[in-house]
């Protein structure tokens, strides 16, 4: 039961989380993404349509005395403005987005057999990663100094602090010899 819940929750997460925290069954994660995507699409669409109808009826009643007896084009224009006005509310945009995301997750699972993660979960994870990385960078340097070891076939430098700019293209000069970074 716990594995089922975990796989269900992992269906909303990006692939980088699923690589670190392996699901019990990748097929179960895919099925969870398909069914939760469909449920998300149907629920968000239903809520969005219900809210749109309520908004439209309320605003149409407010404008009815002003457009009564006018030309059909004006009445149609007012109806279009009321419909577009619905899109100005942040909660309306959220429900429409969630419906589109649910549809994308459902179709991505059905057609491509891919688990499409949820954007709010992915953004939350990225923010958490960034805050963790910032906290690590703000910590004072380790009390251990960087060490340099001269080996028979080269040089080994062990860094006590993360060096994000170091990669395979970096070369380090020590005593007139140049060494390339092998592992970061």
% of the chain with per-residue pLDDT over 90: 39
Question: pLDDT tens for residues 63-101?
Answer: 888 888 888 888 888 889 999 999 999 999 999 999 999
pLDDT at 144: 61
pLDDT at 182: 67
Provide the H-helix boundaries in the chain. Answer: 2-10, 15-20, 26-67, 72-86, 90-111, 119-138
Confidence category of residue 140, pLDDT binned at 50, 70, 90: low
Residue 170 has pLDDT above 60, yes or no: yes
Taking a C-beta distance cutoff of 8 angstroms, is the pair 41, 99 a contact? yes
% of the chain with per-residue pLDDT over 70: 92
Confidence category of residue 143, pLDDT binned at 50, 70, 90: low
Residue 165 has pLDDT above 60, yes or no: yes
pLDDT at 166: 72
Confidence category of residue 183, pLDDT binned at 50, 70, 90: low
End-to-end CA distance of the chain: 40
Cα→Cα distances 47→51, 91, 93, 97, 117, Å? 6, 11, 12, 12, 22
Question: Is the model's pTM score more than 0.75?
Answer: no
């Amino acid at each position: 039961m716990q594995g089922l819940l975990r796989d269900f929750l992992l269906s909303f997460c990006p692939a980088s989380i699923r690589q670190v925290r392996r699901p019990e069954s990748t097929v179960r994660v895919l099925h969870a993404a398909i069914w939760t995507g469909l449920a998300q699409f149907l629920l968000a669409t239903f809520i969005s349509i219900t809210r749109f109808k309520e908004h439209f009826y309320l605003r149409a009643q407010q404008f009815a005395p002003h457009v009564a007896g006018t030309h059909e084009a004006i009445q149609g224009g007012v109806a279009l403005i009321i419909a577009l006005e619905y899109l100005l509310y942040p909660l309306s945009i959220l429900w429409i987005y969630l419906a589109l995301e649910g549809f994308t997750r459902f179709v991505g699972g059905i057609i491509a057999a891919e688990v499409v993660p949820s954007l709010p979960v992915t953004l939350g994870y990225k923010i958490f990663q960034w805050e963790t990385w910032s906290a690590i960078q703000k910590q004072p340097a380790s009390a251990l100094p960087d060490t340099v070891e001269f080996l028979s076939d080269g040089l080994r430098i062990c860094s006590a602090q993360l060096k994000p700019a170091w990669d395979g293209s970096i070369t380090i000069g020590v005593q007139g010899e140049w060494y390339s970074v092998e592992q970061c």
